[in-house]
Amino acid sequence: MLPVVAIVGRPNVGKSTLFNRLLGQRKAIVEDVPGVTRDRNYARVDRFDRPFMLIDTGGFEPASEDRLLTQMREQSQLAIEEADIILLVFDGREGLTPSDEEVAAMLRRVEKPVLFLVNKIDGDSQELALGEFYSLGLDDLLPISSAHGRGVGELIDRLHQLM
Ligand code: GDP
Ligand code: MG
């Protein structure tokens, strides 16, 4: 059985972009329209030392913060059930939101390894945005740029350590 890695996070944080980046090809639909991946996307990633299954979770852009929370709880629950390793993605450009905090709190109680990724850190100047995420007090916080590949090698190393 291959280890299963699930990507979760709010709509538009860059989950599908990360999925495609790890896959090394374009498969998940990435749109400027937020929340385009409606369902789940599964792919086998075997271009690194150790193969794994990757799940991209989707969701619509909910009308309210309440709906968003419900959706994220369901998405995270699913990842908790199906995955061996969970990647929770934050948006380093938008900053930390209440639903991010809630899901981070939910996932840090889980027995499975969780890596917390701050995406859209495309260059050094965006590193400043990390400060508020460190306030969550998470051990495994990693800045990445799914669009440009920054930090993704480090992410792969961390994944391999957990497999
Ligand atoms: P999802 O809803 O979480 O799957 O997010 P998507 O992967 O569809 O991306 C949402 C938007 O964020 C798209 O416009 C992406 O091009 C953009 N995006 C994703 N990753 C990055 C990144 O690393 N840097 C920047 N600047 N934009 C990104
Ligand atoms: Mg998506």
Whether 112 has a binding-site annotation, put simply, is no
- Residues 31-64: tens digit of each pLDDT: 555 555 556 788 899 889 899 999 988 766 666 7
Average pLDDT of every residue of the chain: 87
Distances (CA, A) of 45 to 81, 83, 126: 20, 14, 29
CA dist 66 and 45 (Å) reads 34
**Helix residue ranges, H only, 10-142:** 15-23, 65-82, 98-108, 131-134
Say how many Å lie between the CA of residue 109 and the centre of ligand 2: 25
In CATH, the number for domain 4-70+81-162 is 3.40.50.300
The predicted complex's ipTM stands at 0.99
Whether 119 has a binding-site annotation, put simply, is yes
Atom of ligand 1 nearest to the CA of 11: 2
